[in-house]
């Protein structure tokens, strides 16, 4: 049985067996009352009730714990399981007609409480799960409280703790949040594809589970639940990277990658539409194969060996897909990362406004919303060092004479589009301007050269006799403010930002 009082959405449901596992650990290790643990036998004064909740919530945040607990039915000090007659779901406070649950709405802040009633060792136990404060202090009647060991007091009496709490409230990242809580060692190893971590790094899988758990702890993929070493939380980082199935994690299923293949060059008819369920790291090799198998390809002979050549260079997919995953804004709800395949292009979409201008992705150092995710994807050799991935993409596009990479921002998303080869006559005026600018950036930034009419003719596969049409493209691109002549020679060009 449970009851939730909602002013946010951070409680992750725990099964009875998970709560029992925590109780087993607390009692067997004789974990005393603390900043995040309180034991009671029956209901206590309603004013103290509110102060306890505020104090425990703020203390959990201060200690980097995800939640605090009040247990009714456990004797403090003796750890005897005595049970309780406390019934929070129909309890009236101090002889009044005011019910406990509505009274709790006096609490403010971005949090969600959950009462649970369980049977433990033949006794009724009530548990109140109290999420750690997030973004703002948890207050009772406008006052924030804190625990000093097992004592409850106002936060204002401890300015150093208040400053530290505020620092912690604003610095938690999505990656540090919990995707699943109170899991056993077996649960963790069943839910996460830990073997892929060792495979990516060309390391042998340890022969014992303890070493694997230690690795997951060190990499931030899991955390300990309280001081009970045998109970773990799986972080969003751990699930996003190594989930065998993201559907197993509440709140992350809509972060799985959606792959759509269309008939033609528009979205009128989908040939296939499905969601790839695996984590971004462990599933990446399979994801890449799924996408490649949907692309146009042909058999060619290279050095006498028959091989498949895909319409798009593989390096483009290897860089743009992880890039989209790393830079997505996880706080935007209802938007999956998408890979859409058309007859003439691939579009890769991630949620979030771009943090740098879309026409400066080559020369400006990328800013990542998700540093831990980026670090791990690089460590596992799935993506390149910061900023070098887009270099490789543009290099492949240049060498394969493909249209320009188009990166645009629409509807709080970033869309990267890669096009199949187009002849001069198939290119629009906008296509030609984009290609001219990108070619100029490529030469200046990667080759330390300047663009000329001749270099652009070669890029467009236009004959020398048609230099006038290339001059018009250069003129149009200059009018858009994307390129400029060098100081030494007006017929040599560099990007506007150079």
pLDDT in tens, 345-388: 999 999 998 888 888 888 887 777 899 999 999 999 998 765 56
Is the per-residue pLDDT at 6 higher than 50? no
Strand partners, 235: 178
Q: Residue 386's pLDDT is what?
A: 59
**Closest listed residue to residue 21, CA positions, set 176, 162, 186, 146:** 186
pLDDT digits (tens, 9 = 90+) for 437-494: 999 999 999 999 999 999 999 999 999 888 999 999 999 999 999 999 997 777 899 9
Q: Residue 109's pLDDT is what?
A: 47
Mean pLDDT of 12-30: 86
* Cα separation, 245 vs 279, whole angstroms: 7
Q: Residue 99's pLDDT is what?
A: 77
Q: Residue 3's pLDDT is what?
A: 39
With b for 16 or more beta-carbon neighbours within 10 A and e for fewer, the 458-467 pattern comes to: ebbebeeeee
Is the per-residue pLDDT at 321 higher than 90? yes
* Cα separation, 338 vs 256, whole angstroms: 9
Q: Residue 88's pLDDT is what?
A: 83
Q: What share of the chain is helix, strand, coil (3-state, %, to 5)?
A: 35, 25, 35
pLDDT digits (tens, 9 = 90+) for 201-232: 999 999 999 999 999 999 999 998 776 668 89
Q: Residue 90's pLDDT is what?
A: 80
**Closest listed residue to residue 42, CA positions, set 67, 74, 68, 16:** 74
Tokens of 378: 């690089």
Quickly state the pLDDT bin for 4 (edges 50, 70, 90).
Answer: very low
Is the per-residue pLDDT at 44 higher than 70? no
- Which domains are delineated in the chain? 2-172 (3.30.950), 175-245 (no CATH), 256-419 (3.30.565.60), 425-495 (1.10.10)
Tokens of 495: 């990007």
Q: CB under 8 Å to 177, separation ≥6 — which residues?
A: 10, 235, 236
* Cα separation, 112 vs 407, whole angstroms: 39
pTM of the predicted structure, to 2 decimals: 0.80
Task: Give how far the C-alpha of residue 90 lies from the chain's centroid of Cα atoms, to the nearest Å.
Answer: 40
* Cα separation, 475 vs 473, whole angstroms: 5
Rounded to 10°, the helix 314-327/371-379 angle is: 150
pLDDT digits (tens, 9 = 90+) for 135-153: 788 888 888 999 998 899 9
Quickly state the pLDDT bin for 111 (edges 50, 70, 90).
Answer: low
Q: Residue 135's pLDDT is what?
A: 77
- Looking at residue 490, the DSSP 8-state letter turns out to be T
DSSP assignment string, 402-448? PPPPEEEEETTEEEEEEE----GGG--HHHHHHHHHHHHHHHHHHS-
Mean pLDDT of 113-132: 91
Q: Which span out of 166-170, 229-233, 290-294, 329-333 was modeled with the highest average pLDDT?
A: 290-294
Query: What's the mean pLDDT when you consider all of the chain?
Result: 89
Is the per-residue pLDDT at 2 higher than 90? no
Q: Residue 142's pLDDT is what?
A: 83
Torsion-angle region of 48 (φ positive above 0: left; ψ -120 to 50: alpha; else: beta): alpha
* Cα separation, 236 vs 233, whole angstroms: 10
DSSP assignment string, 202-214? T-PPPSSHHHHHH
Quickly state the pLDDT bin for 301 (edges 50, 70, 90).
Answer: low
Mean pLDDT of 106-112: 56
Percent of the chain surpassing pLDDT 70: 92
The sheet that has 270-276: what strands, in order across it?
Answer: 270-276, 257-262, 338-341, 345-351, 413-419, 406-410
Q: Which span out of 88-92, 145-149, 215-219, 298-302 was modeled with the highest average pLDDT?
A: 215-219
Q: Residue 367's pLDDT is what?
A: 77
Residue found by looking up tokens 């106002």 in the block: 154
CA distances from 342 to 268, 269, 304 (A): 11, 10, 32
φ and ψ of 448, to 5 deg: 55, 45
């Amino acid at each position: 049985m449970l009851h939730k009082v909602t002013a946010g959405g951070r409680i992750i449901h725990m099964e009875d067996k998970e709560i029992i596992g925590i109780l087993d650990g607390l009692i067997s290790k004789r974990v005393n009352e603390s900043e995040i643990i309180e034991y009671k036998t029956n209901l206590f004064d309603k004013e103290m009730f509110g102060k306890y909740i505020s104090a425990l919530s703020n203390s959990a945040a201060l200690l980097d714990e995800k939640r605090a607990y009040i247990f009714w039915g456990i004797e403090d000090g003796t750890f005897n399981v005595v049970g309780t007659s406390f019934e929070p779901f129909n309890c009236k406070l101090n002889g009044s007609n005011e019910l406990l649950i509505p009274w709790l709405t006096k609490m403010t802040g971005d949090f969600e409480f959950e009462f649970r009633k369980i049977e433990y060792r033949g006794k009724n136990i009530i548990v109140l799960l109290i999420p750690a404060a997030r973004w703002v202090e948890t207050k009772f009647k406008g006052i924030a409280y804190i625990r000093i060991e097992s004592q409850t007091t106002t936060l204002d009496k401890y300015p150093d703790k208040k400053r530290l709490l505020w620092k912690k409230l604003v610095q938690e990242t999505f990656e540090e949040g919990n995707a699943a809580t109170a899991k056993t060692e077996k649960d963790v190893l069943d839910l996460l594809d830990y073997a892929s971590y060792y495979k990516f790094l060309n390391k042998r899988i340890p022969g014992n589970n303890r070493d694997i758990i230690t690795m997951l702890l060190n990499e931030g993929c899991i955390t300990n639940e309280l001081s009970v070493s045998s109970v773990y939380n799986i972080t969003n980082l751990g699930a996003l990277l190594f989930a065998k199935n993201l559907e197993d994690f509440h709140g992350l299923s809509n972060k799985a990658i959606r792959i759509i293949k269309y008939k033609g060059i528009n979205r009128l008819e989908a040939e296939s539409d499905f969601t790839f369920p695996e984590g971004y790291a462990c599933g990446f090799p399979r994801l890449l194969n799924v996408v490649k198998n949907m692309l146009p390809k042909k058999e060619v002979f290279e050095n006498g060996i028959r091989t498949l050549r895909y319409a798009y260079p593989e390096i483009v997919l290897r860089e743009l897909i992880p890039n989209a995953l790393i830079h997505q804004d996880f706080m935007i709800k209802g938007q999956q990362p998408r890979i859409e395949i058309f007859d003439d292009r691939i579009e890769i979409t991630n949620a979030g406004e771009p943090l740098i201008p879309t026409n400066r992705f080559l020369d400006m150092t990328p800013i990542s919303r998700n540093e831990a995710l980026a670090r791990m994807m690089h460590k596992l050799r799935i993506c390149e060092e910061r900023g070098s991935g887009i270099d490789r993409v543009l290099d492949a596009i240049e060498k394969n004479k493909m249209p320009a990479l188009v990166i645009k921002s629409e509807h709080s998303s970033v869309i990267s589009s890669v096009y199949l080869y187009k002849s001069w006559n198939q290119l629009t005026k906008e296509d030609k301007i984009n290609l001219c600018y990108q070619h100029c950036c490529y030469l200046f930034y990667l080759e330390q050269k300047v663009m000329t009419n001749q270099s652009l003719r070669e890029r467009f596969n236009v004959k020398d006799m048609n230099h006038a049409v290339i001059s018009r493209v250069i003129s149009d691109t200059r009018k858009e403010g994307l390129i400029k002549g060098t100081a030494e020679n007006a017929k040599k060009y560099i990007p506007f930002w150079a």
